[in-house]
Amino acid sequence: MINVFGRWYQRKFSDPDAVMLLILIVFTTAVLLLLGELIMPVLVAVVVAYLLDWPVSKLVNLGMGRGIACTIVMLIFSTLMVLLFVGLVPIISKQSINLVQETPLIWQEAQSWLLTLPEKYPDYVQAVQIQQMMQGLNEKLVLVGETLISASFSNLATLAAVLVYLILVPLMIFFMLKDKQYFLESISRILPKERRLITQVGHEMNSQIANYIRGKVIEILIVGIVSCVTFVLMDLRYGILLGVLVGLSVLIPYIGAAVVTIPVAVVAMFQWGITPEFWYLMVAYGIIQALDGNLLVPILFSEAVSLHPLYIIVAVLVFGGLWGFWGVFFAIPLATLVKAVISAWSSSPQPVEAQ
């Protein structure tokens, strides 16, 4: 066993480039785990800079100076963000408050419906089972309510941090876009000379991450807008809020669509009951999800490295547990990074054994 491990170690780590790649991965992971919260504004700025680099590059290719192009793109982006928050956030906040206020009524009707099951299906459902289940759910709901209340008070303490984000992050984005080449050259000078595999993985991931961020933002906007319009036209209560949730659910592949179906179905059932209107809405919602998975995703992510759905789900669970929202957002690129590292490691030159 020791000989097998020794031969594997000699085969993989005799190449200095492979050793440097491993050191860089370990160092980067340690920094993210230990200082993730402190450097989060920088990571957010990097993500948005990746997103805005494409329009900046297009304007530069048209003959415009990079500084002017960055200024124009940042002004447009800032204007859109202000309009989005001014127009959308108040509506979502109002509908969220109304939904929270009506949640006890929804749960009361759900309890009344559950209590009718033993009468309708006495051979399959017992009244004692329903009562025990409702008691357990009531306890869970109390805990969730307490958690939400404590979270709302803790968010008041982060208001100053949000204001700092509004000032510092846009400045960092602008300088990252304007002086992109300078930062790339600075990073290149820091990297060791033995960086063949680092460069190989970096080139592969650069286009992957940029394409993924742009594609994911476009997918969120399309799915969110189509869902909002569909829910509003069908007169679903809290249509804007639920449409935004459906749009954000695409951040979590497979799992997000399954989870967000619950509030959509519950609100529709509370509003209409088991009626044709309820089924019309669920069919329309199913069509949106089907078009997203079978048409929109293949078009937007046609250049992405294909990953098995099991790997994607595992990546969402692992990276989401480590870094929360951003771990979920970057689950697919991070999984692709792991695949690229493994491929680069496997393709590293093997030492010639002595005859």
Least confident of 9-18, 52-61, 311-320: 9-18
Express each pLDDT in 206-254 by its tens digit. Answer: 767 777 777 888 888 999 999 999 999 999 988 898 999 999 888 877 7
Res 304: pLDDT: 53
- Give CA–CA dist 57/178, Å, rounded: 11
Tokens of 251: 């951040």
Of 166 and 276, the structure prediction assigns the larger pLDDT to 276
| Average pLDDT value for residue range 264-293 | 89
Tokens of 260: 């967000």
| Average pLDDT value for residue range 275-285 | 92
| Average pLDDT value for residue range 134-160 | 57
Provide the phi-psi class of 273: left if phi over 0, else alpha when psi is between -120 and 50, else beta.
left
- Give CA–CA dist 167/176, Å, rounded: 15
How confident is residue 354, by pLDDT bands cut at 50, 70 and 90? very low
Given a contact cutoff of 8 angstroms between Cβ atoms, the answer to whether 311 and 335 are in contact is yes
The stretches of 158-275 forming alpha helices (DSSP H) are 159-178, 180-190, 196-233, 239-249, 255-272
Express each pLDDT in 85-99 by its tens digit. Answer: 777 778 887 887 877
- Give CA–CA dist 4/38, Å, rounded: 42
Res 160: pLDDT: 60
- Give CA–CA dist 191/23, Å, rounded: 11
- Give CA–CA dist 224/229, Å, rounded: 9
Of 199 and 194, the structure prediction assigns the larger pLDDT to 199
How confident is residue 151, by pLDDT bands cut at 50, 70 and 90? very low
Percentage of the chain surpassing pLDDT 90?
11
Percentage of the chain surpassing pLDDT 70?
72
Tokens of 230: 């569909």
How confident is residue 5, by pLDDT bands cut at 50, 70 and 90? low
Amino acid (one-letter) located at 251: L
- CA count, 13 A, side-chain hemisphere, 349: 6
Given a contact cutoff of 8 angstroms between Cβ atoms, the answer to whether 125 and 118 are in contact is yes
Give ∠ CA 338-12-316 in degrees, rounded to 5: 15
Total residues belonging to the chain: 355
Given a contact cutoff of 8 angstroms between Cβ atoms, the answer to whether 207 and 103 are in contact is no
How confident is residue 355, by pLDDT bands cut at 50, 70 and 90? very low
Res 158: pLDDT: 56
| Average pLDDT value for residue range 16-35 | 75
Please report, for residues 129, 250, 270, 309, 355, the alpha-carbon distance to residue 284 in angstroms, rounded to integers and kept in the order given: 35, 17, 18, 25, 69
- Give CA–CA dist 51/210, Å, rounded: 7
On the 0-12 / 13-18 / 19+ scale of CB atoms within 10 A, 17 is buried
Least confident of 11-15, 26-30, 76-80, 323-327: 11-15
Res 353: pLDDT: 45
Res 285: pLDDT: 93
pLDDT mean across residues, the chain: 76
How confident is residue 10, by pLDDT bands cut at 50, 70 and 90? low
| Average pLDDT value for residue range 305-319 | 73
Q: Given a cut of 70, is residue 320 above it in pLDDT? A: yes
Pick the closest to residue 212 from 40, 47, 108, 333 (CA basis).
333
| Average pLDDT value for residue range 13-20 | 67
| Average pLDDT value for residue range 187-201 | 72
- CA count, 13 A, side-chain hemisphere, 183: 11
- Give CA–CA dist 341/355, Å, rounded: 31
Q: Given a cut of 50, is residue 169 above it in pLDDT? A: yes
